[in-house]
Every structure is written in C-alpha cells, then in structure tokens.
Amino acid sequence: MTHGFDKDFWERHWQQGRAGRPGSMGGNPPNPYLAREAGGLTPGTALDAGCGSGAEAIWLASRGWHVTAADISSEALARAAERAATIGAPERLQWVEADLSHWSPDAQFDLVMTHYAHPAMPQLEFYDRIAGWVAPGGTLLVVGHLHTTGSTGHGHHPPAEASATPAVITARMDGTEWEIVTAEECLRTLTGPGGRAVPLHDVVVRATRRR
C-alpha cells in the first residue's frame, strides 16, 4: 500500500480527530523517548520536524528550549498553538506551516528531532535532509516506526515506506561526522480505543554531530 503523505492526507488525518489513538497525537503526552534522550541536554535552539499537535515541542519549550515547530497541516498547528497557550512559555515556540519535502530553515539548531513524521518523500531521504539542519556539536533525534516483516499500513502497522530500522538509518551517517549515541529497537504499549492495549514497535536513533 502506497501512501501519499501530502498536505491533503495530513489535513484529513488531523480533522478526523485522533484522541486516544496510538502515538504522540491529539492530547497525548510527549513521546517518552524524548525525555530519555534529550532530558540531559543543555537547552538551546531546537527544530521539531513534523510536530503534529505539538506535544514534544511544548515539552522542550517548558524546559527552556527555543523551538521552531514545523508541520504541513494547518489543522495540527492550530491544535498545537492552542495547547501551547496553557504552558506559560509560548514566546519560546514558533509554529511554521511547511512541507518538509521542500522547506528548509535559515539556520541550524542545537537539536533537530522528528517523531513519526512521514513527508511525501522517501523516509530515509527525509532523515538525511533534517540531519543537515543540526549545528556542529548538536543532536539529531529520530523516533520512528520500526520496519518489520509484513508492514502494510493495515490496523496499527505502519506502511513499509514510512518505516526503517536503526541499522539502516545509522548506515547512512558518516562516522567522521556523527557519533551514534542511541540506536535501538523499542517496544511500548499504549491504551487504544476501548481500553485495548496496543503495542508500538519503534526505532530510536540519537546522534551527535561532531564539531
């Protein structure tokens, strides 16, 4: 199954309302891997590539980061801005409506992160693209769907074109430029519709750009 992942796809996705569904969406808390991987970093500038409803960007801003949060969906950004108004630090957040297949920031960042973002381009090329936005000494954090046999996009399984493995992601990173800190396959369980336990198979990669 091929997904377009274009603006119309994501506007429909967010307009349908996904409260209570798996993933860091709607009113859900920020992804737990963010606190684990970025909690010890010194606050600076950050870019959230494919921010959705803003949970991760808001988490960073509440801890002193100045965050640029970009997403293709105006519906998602409207939810994010409304949610951010409650944290007491909206001045640390900039919301940008952008197609990450084409848009580029005009500066590099101390932290560039993405959580389950799928722009209308090959997934690994997207990771290559955002890696270029990390400042020397900065951090790249990728949280995505783990590619497993039979990833078809049905039910809660992401399509293969939106998935990857840690080995495939890190193999594209030049060892003279990047220090790999985390490259893991993770399993966590969320509560889905009707209180049903839903397993999520994730890939988590964190790397530091060498000076």
Phi and psi angles of residue 190, each rounded to the nearest 5 degrees, phi first: -110, 165
Antiparallel, parallel or unpaired: β 197-209 and 178-191? antiparallel
Q: Is the pLDDT of residue 138 over 60?
A: yes
Region 171-181: mean pLDDT is 96
The answer on pLDDT for 166 being more than 90 is yes
Cα 120 to chain centroid distance, Å, stands at 15
In one letter, which amino acid is 181?
V
Confidence of residue 151 (pLDDT cuts 50, 70, 90): very low
Q: Where are the alpha helices (DSSP H) in 30-149?
A: 32-38, 55-61, 74-84, 123-131
E strands, the chain, in order: 45-49, 66-71, 93-97, 109-115, 134-146, 163-164, 178-191, 197-209
More confident residue, 163 or 181: 181
Residue 23: per-residue pLDDT: 43
Q: What is the pLDDT of residue 88?
A: 67
Residue 160 DSSP label: G
Question: Residues of the chain with pLDDT > 70: what percent?
Answer: 82
The whole-number average pLDDT for the span 73-102 is 86
CB 83 within 8 A of CB 19: no
Q: Work out the pLDDT band at 154, boundaries 50, 70, 90.
A: very low
Question: Mean pLDDT for the chain?
Answer: 85
> b/e per residue, 175-206, with b = 16+ CB within 10 A?
eeebeeebbeebeeebeeeeeeeeebbbbbbb
pLDDT band at residue 150, thresholds of 50, 70 and 90?
Answer: very low
Note the pLDDT of residue 178.
Answer: 98
Q: Is the pLDDT of residue 124 over 90?
A: yes
